[in-house]
Amino acid sequence: MTDSAQQEIIAFLEDPATHGGAPVDVRRTHASIVFLAGERAFKLKKAVRYPFLDYSDLEKRRAACEAELALNRRTAPALYLGVRPVLCRPDGSLALEGEGTPVEWLVEMRRFPDDALLADLIERGGLAPALLRDLAAAIAAFHRAAEPTPEFGGARGIEEVIEINEASLSASGLGGAELIAASRAALARHAPLLERRRRDGHVRRCHGDLHLGNIVLFEGKAVLFDGIEFSESLACIDVLYDLAFLVMDLVHRGARDGANLVFNRYLDLADEEDGLAAMPLFLSLRAAVRAHVGAAAGRDDATAYLELAEKLIAPPPPRLVAIGGLSGTGKSTVAAGVAPFLGAAPGARILRSDVLRKRLLGRPLEERLPQQAYDAETSRRLYDRLLDRAGAALAAGYSVVIDAVSARPDERSAIAALARRAGVPFTGIWLEAPQALLEARVEARREDVSDATADVVRKQLRYDTGPIEWVRIDASPAPEAVVAAARRALGA
């Protein structure tokens, strides 16, 4: 609850006269009040104290405003304009400009359209895959550039989150004792991994509150804003824990396909796969955070988030799936279509040979490779890398979809042998379609990771594939029909 001194300031900021007569739209959260007037937004920190933040005095609120400005300019420089004082003039009146004594501090921002938040966009029919791919790439780039903070994070950082969740869930009346016990058990299992990642530079000064309500479509791009400034320990975190908030929020909103896309695109661009084993814990913690924050704000989705947290902490066992076939059969489309429904949220890790080949050679994903990049030795190294990555993901508890031509019998045998070693179920799917259709599809591709051409298709058609014992699916129909057939074959 705000203190009495703030009530006068709030009334002043709610008054259209303060803003040159512009109507004022007021938005409240558990920790702040935003006043939208004309082309500007003014954010006031409430004089409140919670287990995870303290805005209880004016100096703390000033420092929080300055920290918010500096930190959010990393991702949203066009939105964050400055820190503005609310002044008390000698006559006792309040003003935003001129002479006087600061009695409150505000973050001044450029106003964006009311319906531009990704949380709003998804409610109006979903988020375009291209937007989510670009968003995942932007987050990966942001994390690469963020300052390493090894003094935070690791096992102790996650223990602090669990402690906050425990106190806040109890205070909210939601309970969650079994969830807290399961979270602590998971932390005990993954503590060495979390500590290794902390020491190796994977704990950085991140966003900290990366859900759909803190991402806005601004000037045609998804922009991260409103990152955590009030707690170093809640913002200096493992980059996968940062990503987990967005992934969890997409899952909660029924967009598991979008969550899987973001998850895989991020991992394709960032060297973070060694942290996969901790993702169920990270996702569950994020859902629990959303539960108690929602309860504090009086929202009606708090219980649903708590139920999701309980589900995420106990993921199903992994499985291995391979999608094979010549170029143009639609392997990547099918892989993306089935992966969200396999194993732990947000679904399977997709290991695409075209992506790994370019990462193996240190090339950008969109760069076309020369023909020598497809020689026998490079392809052998590529399949070794595919199997290594797949084995590591399976060991971490995540299902895997291998997206590769897999035309040679020994390649298919090696994939099946990996599943046996890992002790997981395996299904291979072979896609096939007429030559003319394959050639037309590869020639129609634009901005795709694959370098395949019609000449490549003609060369592949001369391969001696040997007997193919995988489930064979006609890839001639529309993509959604092929994906449906693959899902039926997988029971997904």
**CA angle in degrees (0–180, nearest 5) for 298-314-269:** 90
Out of 266, 291, 312, pick the residue that ends a domain: 312
Q: What are phi and psi of 437, to 5 degrees?
A: -70, -40
User: 227 and 100, same structural domain?
Assistant: no
User: 158 and 131, same structural domain?
Assistant: yes
- Asked whether the CA dihedral 448, 482, 399, 353 is positive or negative, the reply is negative
Q: Quote the CA–CA distance of 143 and 204 in Å, as a whole number.
A: 7
Whole-structure pTM value: 0.92
What is the per-residue pLDDT for 3?
65
Looking at the DSSP bridge assignments, the partners of residue 43 are 34, 107
CATH for 34: 3.30.200
Q: Hunting for tokens 């003609």 — which residue is that?
A: 458
Tell me the pairing of strands 349-352 and 471-474. unpaired
Direct distance between the N- and C-terminal alpha carbons of the chain, in angstroms, rounded to an integer? 48
Q: What is the dihedral of CA 313, 318, 324, 329, to 10 degrees?
A: -30
User: 186 and 42, same structural domain?
Assistant: no
What is the per-residue pLDDT for 376?
77
What is the per-residue pLDDT for 328?
94
CATH for 278: 3.90.1200
User: 330 and 264, same structural domain?
Assistant: no
User: 188 and 273, same structural domain?
Assistant: yes
The closest alpha carbon to 152, from 114, 108, 205, belongs to: 205
Out of 312, 333, 352, pick the residue that ends a domain: 312
User: 271 and 145, same structural domain?
Assistant: yes
The token duo for 63 is 């420092």
Residue 337 lies in domain: 320-490
The token duo for 216 is 């806005």
Tell me the pairing of strands 53-54 and 49-50. antiparallel
- Parts of the chain with a pLDDT under 50: 1
Q: Quote the CA–CA distance of 374 and 367 in Å, as a whole number.
A: 14
User: 138 and 32, same structural domain?
Assistant: no
What is the per-residue pLDDT for 452?
83
User: 372 and 344, same structural domain?
Assistant: yes
Q: What are phi and psi of 374, to 5 degrees?
A: -110, 20
User: 271 and 140, same structural domain?
Assistant: yes
Is residue 85 reached through a cis peptide bond, with omega within 30 degrees of 0 on the bond before it? Answer: no
pLDDT 10s digits, 436-473: 999 999 998 887 888 788 888 899 889 989 999 999 99
User: 426 and 349, same structural domain?
Assistant: yes
Out of 312, 336, 356, pick the residue that ends a domain: 312
User: 170 and 276, same structural domain?
Assistant: yes
Cβ neighbour number for residue 484 with a 10 Å cutoff: 15
What is the per-residue pLDDT for 2?
52
The closest alpha carbon to 34, from 108, 92, 126, 87, belongs to: 108
Looking at the DSSP bridge assignments, the partners of residue 401 are 321, 350
Q: How many domains does the chain have?
A: 3
CATH for 414: 3.40.50.300
pLDDT 10s digits, 200-241: 999 999 999 999 999 999 999 999 999 999 889 999 999 999
User: 71 and 26, same structural domain?
Assistant: yes
